[in-house]
Structure 1
Amino acid sequence: MQNGRNDTTIGNNANTGDVKGDILIDIGSGPTIYQLLSACEKFNKIIVSDYADRNRQELEKWLKKGPGAFDWTLVVKYVCKLEGQR
């Protein structure tokens, strides 16, 4: 229980093996992927969604390696190091 609420995060549960499956749907992703990094090896497919066009466009630009897309390389390497992978 955190902050008086009975909830947990995927990051905490994915590392213990408690959360896994075929598809993960992230609702309200924003223009980021950091919240999905711990889950990427536990799910076969991850679907991101956001209400704001700008956020979806930023994610699409990153997926297509478009000019000006944010480079997540350092963030991914950091998370992998924390989790003892790669």
Structure 2
Amino acid sequence: MPRTRSQTTDTQSSLDRTATPSEPLPPPPEALMDTKELLSFLKLGKTKISELINREGLPVYKFGNAYRFDRNEVWQWLQNRRQMR
């Protein structure tokens, strides 16, 4: 037996009331920088970048032999580093 319009509306209303509000999605991340872009961004050499990754916790994503850096995470890391000194 097909549903009547009121049955469909009632079913939809009950779904709307029981549905939990979803959390808003975070903004999409900016494109990740490669090492060359990071060198330009920080105006540092490869050796210094390696030291910062290994000794001072510069945030990095590693994909095989490729390194990628999130511009916002690097900026936040710089701000936190400045506050420490």
For the criterion TM > 0.5, the same-fold answer is no
Larger Rg belongs to: 2
Which structure has the highest helix share of the two? 2
Tell me the TM-score normalised to structure 1 length: 0.22
Tell me the TM-score normalised to structure 2 length: 0.23
Which structure has the highest strand share of the two? 1
